[in-house]
Amino acid sequence: MNMKNILVVTASIFGKDGQSSQLVEKTLEQLRQTHGEIQVTTRDLAAEPVPHLDATRFGAFLASADERNNDQQQVVDYSDSLIDEIHNADILVLGVPMYNFGIPSALKAYFDHIARAGITFRYTENGPVGLLQDRPVYVLAARGGIYAGTANDSQTPFIRSFLGFIGLTDLHFVYAEGLNMGDEQKHNALTEASRDIAALAS
């Protein structure tokens, strides 16, 4: 059995104590049971935030390789390193809390740095085409209220659209919802999420 390389991306402002981060850990435990030894690369966006996209950084992405200055090359090298982590991963595991109906701004900044024309997607006469080789992506979504399947779930369609845009379509969502709606609801939600993780990752 070949060792699986796992890229973990977490975005909880509470770090390892965040519910989404704890769901990530449960997923890794299940992946170890399924695949044996795994190699895990972790990118904690709360501990090491990706800079938000601004005109300077976007300009670096647009500049041709032979015209970049040193500062622009550093921006591109940093973005390349994030993309290389995805290339090297057999499986992606994303911990996604919901903040004010959306994904954390740190995760949006990360997405902005891995969306690179000619690198992770390209435009064609028939529209954009993702350039990343597809692989399984587990999305562990923790929410204080109940949103899945409602108009207020802005996360799921956005994540599907964005990751599909760069070529990642093998997506598996696990939801733990209503975590702020009382102890019983929280317990039931986390129990159900654990069952879903076991079923998905086995």
Binding residues for FMN: 12, 98-101
Residue numbers in the known binding site are: 12, 98-101
For residues 88, 85, 57, 170, the Cα torsion angle rounded to the nearest 10 degrees is: 80
Residues contacting 69, CB < 8 A, separation 6+ = none
Residue 94's nearest CA partner among 119, 111, 77, 76 is 111
And the tokens for 148?
């899945």
State the CB neighbour count (10 A cutoff) for residue 100: 8
Q: Burial, 171: exposed, middle or buried (Cβ in 10 Å; 0-12, 13-18, 19+)?
A: middle
DSSP state, 202? -
Q: Cα(39)–Cα(96) distance, rounded to whole angstroms?
A: 21
Q: Cα(122)–Cα(138) distance, rounded to whole angstroms?
A: 25
